[in-house]
């Protein structure tokens, strides 16, 4: 983990309120584990004070460039969306533990299920898994066609199914509807998205082996403030994990959703 002022290479809106931000810096050399995240200070004035956690979406290690995708939502991401080419961003990372890549072997199939802004970390994961000879099937869920992104980029790596809540693209409904409608065979499940989606997925495929990446509100991002604690399934009320430092990736079923 390092703290570095990385340089903005480009920033563009690729879907409704979804921004693709590319930055360059030496710290990118450490970003070898898909599922990890970075913590960004979004303004030079320390307002807002807290950094914002954003997933590593793609990395070019030779050019030291990192791609992040984020939804412009509140104060922090609105400020981030104003960053221009040539400006710097104060980045702390990489943080957390990524998706295990050795839990699946060449020739097997990984099912990647992403919801909304949970999709970005799955792209780097898909690239790394395909490099290792693992087949990819991706199921990506969005609210509407205008919110959808990276469909073509995932399609370069494997089979892709899309769901939208309003039915404007792909299957009408949720990622769980795609799994109901399609006959998808897989060996391991990797997923990232809103807790409500992970919960529905866990109920739908209770026997699936795999990993969930959780998005929890964070303070410090490095295990010091207890803002992100979650309870462990079957544990004592006093048993907990910190999403930032023990996660954000956990084996399915470990954390109470
Ligand atoms: P505000 O609502 O003004 O934020 C207020 C506070 O709440 C901030 O401290 C903020 O960090 C926190 N917060 C708000 N929503 C969330 C949330 N859903 N999860 C965690 N903290 C939240 N978003 C993306 O768009 N792209 C990503 O790749 C991405 N990766 C993430 C990876 C991890 C490990 C986590 C925990 C969250 C990730 N998020 C991602 C969610 C993103 O951090 C929040 O949407 C963002 O912090 C909102 O900040 P804001 O100032 O715009 O909103
Ligand atoms: Fe501070 Fe996790 S965000 S302990």
Is 210 within 8 Å of 246 (Cβ atoms)? no
Residue nearest to atom 7 of ligand 1 (CA): 217
Q: Same domain for 87 and 128?
A: no
Written in H, E and C, the secondary structure of the chain is: CEEEEEEEEEEEEEECCEEEEEEECHHHHHCCCCCCEEEEECCCCCCCCCCEEEECCEEECCCCEEEEEEECCCHHHHHHCCCCCCCEEEEEEEECECCCCCCCCCCCEEEEEEEHHHCHHHHHHHHHHHHCCCEEEEEEEECCHHHCCCHHHHHCCCEEEEEECCCCCCEECCHHHHHHHCCCCCCEEEEECCHHHHHHHHHHCCCCCEEEECCCCCCCCCCCCCCCEEEECCCCCCCEEECCCCCEEEECCCECC
Residue 49: predicted pLDDT: 87
Report the alpha-carbon distance of residue 253 to residue 209 in Å, rounded. 9
Where in the sequence is the domain holding 107, given as residue range(s)? 99-211
Q: Same domain for 122 and 203?
A: yes
Q: Same domain for 86 and 108?
A: no
Where is the domain boundary, 60, 95, 130?
A: 95
Residues lining ligand 1, CB < 6 A? 37, 50, 52-55, 69-71, 73-77, 117, 120, 215-218, 248
Residue corresponding to tokens 């997933």: 55
Instruction: Assess whether the previous peptide bond of 163 is cis (omega < 30° from 0).
Output: no
Q: Best mutation site among 49, 52, 217, 221 for ligand 2, i.e. most ligand atoms within 8 A of its Cβ?
A: 221
Q: Can you say which residues are annotated as belonging to the binding site for [2Fe-2S] cluster?
A: 220, 225, 228, 244
Q: Same domain for 134 and 221?
A: no
**Closest approach atom of ligand 2 to CA 220:** 1
CATH number of the domain residue 70 falls in: 2.40.30.10
Residue 45: predicted pLDDT: 82
Predicted complex ipTM:
0.95
The answer for residues whose C-beta is within 8 angstroms of residue 32's C-beta and 6 or more apart is 59, 61
Q: Same domain for 114 and 143?
A: yes
Residue 139: predicted pLDDT: 98
Q: Residues 59-116: pLDDT tens digits?
A: 999 999 999 999 999 999 999 999 999 999 999 999 999 999 999 999 999 999 999 9
Q: Same domain for 204 and 220?
A: no
Mean pLDDT in residue range 143-159: 98
How far, in Å, is the centroid of ligand 2 from the Cα of 38? 13
CATH number of the domain residue 186 falls in: 3.40.50.80
- The domain tally of the chain equals 3
Residue 215: predicted pLDDT: 84
Q: Best mutation site among 19, 31, 53 for ligand 1, i.e. most ligand atoms within 8 A of its Cβ?
A: 53
How far, in Å, is the centroid of ligand 1 from the Cα of 52? 6
CATH number of the domain residue 243 falls in: 2.10.240.10
pTM for the full predicted model: 0.96
Residue nearest to atom 29 of ligand 1 (CA): 54
Q: Same domain for 62 and 127?
A: no
Residue 230: predicted pLDDT: 93
Q: Same domain for 75 and 167?
A: no
Q: Same domain for 197 and 103?
A: yes
Q: Same domain for 31 and 88?
A: yes
């Amino acid at each position: 983990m390092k703290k570095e002022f990385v340089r903005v290479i480009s920033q563009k809106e690729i879907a409704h309120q979804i921004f693709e931000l590319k930055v360059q810096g030496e710290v990118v050399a450490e970003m070898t584990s898909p599922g990890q995240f970075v913590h960004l200070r979004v303004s030079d004035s320390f307002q807002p004070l807290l950094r914002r956690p954003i997933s590593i979406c793609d990395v070019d290690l030779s050019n030291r460039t990192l791609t992040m995708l984020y939804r412009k939502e509140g104060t922090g991401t609105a400020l981030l969306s104003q960053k221009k080419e040539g400006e710097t961003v104060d980045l702390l990372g990489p943080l957390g533990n990524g998706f295990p890549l050795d839990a699946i072997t060449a020739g097997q199939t990984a099912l990647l299920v992403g919801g909304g802004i949970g999709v970005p970390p799955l792209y780097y994961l898909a690239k790394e898994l395909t490099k290792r000879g693992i087949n990819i099937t991706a199921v990506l869920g969005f609210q509407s066609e205008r919110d959808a992104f990276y469909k073509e980029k995932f399609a370069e790596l494997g089979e892709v199914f899309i769901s939208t809540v309003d039915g404007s693209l792909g299957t009408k409904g949720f990622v769980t509807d795609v799994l109901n409608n399609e006959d998808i065979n897989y060996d391991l499940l990797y997923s990232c998205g809103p807790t409500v989606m992970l919960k529905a997925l866990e109920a739908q495929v209770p026997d699936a082996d795999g990993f969930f990446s959780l998005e929890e509100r964070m303070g410090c991002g490095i295990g010091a403030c207890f803002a992100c604690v979650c309870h462990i399934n079957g544990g004592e009320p006093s048993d907990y994990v910190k999403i930032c430092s023990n996660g954000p990736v956990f084996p399915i079923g470990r954390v109470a959703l």
